[in-house]
Amino acid sequence: MTAVFTGVCVAAGLLFLAAGTAGLLRFPDAATRLHALTKADGLGLGLIVLGLLPQMPGVAAALKLLAIWGLVLLAGATIGPLLARHATEREP
């Protein structure tokens, strides 16, 4: 049961990671590419973390996984607006 849960979540996470990368490569300008990035950060890594939680040997390792995801979300949430402002300053 946990194996199925892990499999589904990790597969979905990989899908979002790939979708984020595809967006980063294919979208026409910096502002739209920014949208793609946050999907990979938030959903891609988030789903992988969710799927791996039952595979962890203890509570400490599981909490570390959640902390890693939280830090990546925090970084993404900060960098997004900063980059967006940078992009609009340059090309109004």
Q: Which residue has tokens 């900060």?
A: 78
What amino acid is encoded at 76 in this protein? G
Per-position b or e across 58-90, b if 16+ CB within 10 A of its CB: eeeebeebeeebeebeeebeeeeeeeeeeeeee
Residues 11-70 that bind another protein (CB under 8 A): 11, 13-14, 17-18, 20-21, 24-25, 30, 33-34, 37, 40-41, 44-45, 48-49, 52, 55-57, 61, 64-65, 67-68
Residues that bind another protein (CB under 8 A): 3, 6-7, 10-11, 13-14, 17-18, 20-21, 24-25, 30, 33-34, 37, 40-41, 44-45, 48-49, 52, 55-57, 61, 64-65, 67-68, 71-72, 74-83, 85-87, 89-90
